[in-house]
Amino acid sequence: MFGKTGTDGMTIEEIRRITAEVLTEAEAAVDTDALEAVRIKYLGRKGLLPRIMDGLKTLAPAARPEAGKLANELKNGLTARLDARKQALQQVAPTPGSGLDWSLPGRWRGLGSRHPVSLVIARAADIFRSLGFTVADGPDVETEYYNFDALNTPADHPARDVQDTFYFATGQLLRTQTSPVQIRVMERQKPPVRIIAPGRCYRRDTTDATHSANFHQIEGLYVDRNVSMADLKGDLTHFARQMMGPGVRVRFRPHFFPFTEPSVEYDFSCHVCGGKGCRVCKDSGWIEISGAGMVNPKVFRAVGYDPDEVTGYAFGMGVERIAMILYGIPDIRMLYDNDARFLAQF
């Protein structure tokens, strides 16, 4: 390789000249591909610099220092020039012929739209905020205490069975309702309390046109002195008319829930047929919404409230059910198929 004065017959002066040419070549690269070609040509495993370095061992001892110095200057100079040129190329627009025309307008992807479930939650929150409610939140992974015990749900209640509830090996579970948020809020806040708790819930339901293992609920809680069933009826009626239309009526039917006493289920008159009977309401004129009632005194005692001093009501409703009624959606699975054609309608 190296003779006494150079490599492959090259003199020291020729190596200096080549070094200058190499730096000029790197500076002249018009894009990153051309720059990479220069790097491989001179610094690659089979490039010029490795050959020069390999030839140092054949030099006479007196010639090695100068040749080694030249090789290092070539390596360091070219590496620095390559890095600087690469940064410069990345900061400017591609040159003509690079495959990208920066003068062309961007591709229009269209505006997105809010999901029907999000629309219902946002609308419900606005309605209840107008009544003085605030929005509260809690964890999706709960303990049995918050999901069942503090809500006066007995140990043998069917809802606590593994066939109905998703349990973890730790004993925790995926909340089956957003009612645990009510307990958490009452533990840290003295009356009055006026909250709604929208969020995801999870139950071991077989997915079909009207059921899903993952769904959304909006729970409501109002606790203060002298809260009565009349307050519950008035607030839910106001919500129904704001959400479904001014002509909607609300009816209450006796029921049982462990965390409320007395308990009721409530229905909205069908906003499609006005209560006359149609396919949506199955010719009954009414659409079942969910349950409600006056908070059970045992629940108050669990959070440190005195049931002799305060009363309150609680209610819950399924968000998907309201969305299906409001927008005429026949199958709950359509809400989660992620079909852009369907979602774009909202």
Residue 105 inside a domain? The answer is: no
Residue 246 inside a domain? The answer is: yes
CA distances from 205 to 3, 162, 246, 337 (A): 85, 12, 34, 18
154 and 232 assigned to the same domain: yes
CATH number at 275 reads 3.30.930.10
213 and 334 assigned to the same domain: yes
Q: Which of 91, 126, 146 is the last residue of a domain?
A: 91
Query: Which pLDDT band holds residue 66 (cuts at 50, 70, 90)?
Result: confident
51 and 161 assigned to the same domain: no
78 and 133 assigned to the same domain: no
138 and 257 assigned to the same domain: yes
Q: Is the pTM of this model over 0.75?
A: no
Q: Is the pLDDT of residue 4 over 50?
A: no
Looking at residue 12, what is its pLDDT? 63
Q: Which residue has the higher pLDDT, 111 or 96?
A: 111
143 and 84 assigned to the same domain: no
60 and 181 assigned to the same domain: no
What is the total count of domains within the chain? 2
Sign of the alpha-carbon dihedral angle for 337, 340, 342, 346: positive
pLDDT 10s digits, 296-309: 999 999 999 999 99
Domain that holds residue 24: 12-91
335 and 208 assigned to the same domain: yes
Residue 282 inside a domain? The answer is: yes
Amino acid at 51: R
209 and 60 assigned to the same domain: no
Q: Are 285 and 223 in contact (CB under 8 A)?
A: no
Q: Report the chain's mean pLDDT, rounded to a whole number.
A: 85
268 and 208 assigned to the same domain: yes
17 and 122 assigned to the same domain: no
133 and 49 assigned to the same domain: no
